[in-house]
């Protein structure tokens, strides 16, 4: 079975079907994987900031608007929204800043907003690898729903 490796750029998301693999690289940004295990359709969003307060800005950059757009696209591609589950990664503190500063708390704020939005849609988070002070490369396997996480100098994880 031939699969495509689809790279998800920053402030964007991609939706595809099994056996494809979605990949992105994260720091303070958060990767949100949504998956319908019955139909093996999933999406990966690479969000930069928690909330979209600027209607002229790219809505795929923000947790609140990107998740809503991705859910619509998943539905349009045959996913059953009732079956969606989530996995999240990222939200690291990549810069040596006070945690109460805007830059120092971006990762924490991103993770909190992602969980809030997923809760609003009644989507269960099955696994997460968040926070810390290191970047991650994530591969989301649409055949199985597994999320593989690689970080320099750390053991690979699978959630």
- Catalytic positions are 29
CB atoms within 10 A of CB 10: 14
Say if residue 119 is exposed, middle or buried (CB neighbours under 10 Å; 0-12, 13-18, 19+). exposed
What secondary structure does DSSP assign to 37-75, as a single string? TTTTEEEEEEE-BS----TTS-GGGBHHHHHHHHHHHHH
């Amino acid at each position: 079975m031939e699969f495509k490796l689809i790279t998800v750029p920053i402030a964007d998301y991609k939706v595809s079907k099994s056996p494809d693999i979605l990949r992105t690289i994260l720091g303070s940004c958060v990767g949100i994987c949504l998956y319908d295990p019955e139909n093996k359709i999933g999406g990966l969003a690479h969000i930069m900031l928690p909330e979209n307060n600027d209607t002229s800005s790219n809505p795929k950059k923000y947790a609140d608007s990107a998740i809503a757009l991705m859910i619509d696209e998943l539905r349009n591609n045959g996913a059953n929204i009732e079956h969606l589950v989530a996995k999240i990664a990222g939200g690291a503190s990549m810069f040596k800043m006070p945690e109460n500063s805007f830059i120092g708390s971006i990762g924490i704020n991103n993770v909190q907003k992602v969980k809030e939005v997923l809760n609003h849609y009644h989507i269960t988070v099955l696994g997460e690898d968040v926070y810390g002070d290191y970047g991650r490369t994530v591969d989301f396997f649409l055949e199985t729903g597994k999320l593989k996480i690689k970080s320099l100098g750390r053991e690979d994880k699978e959630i």
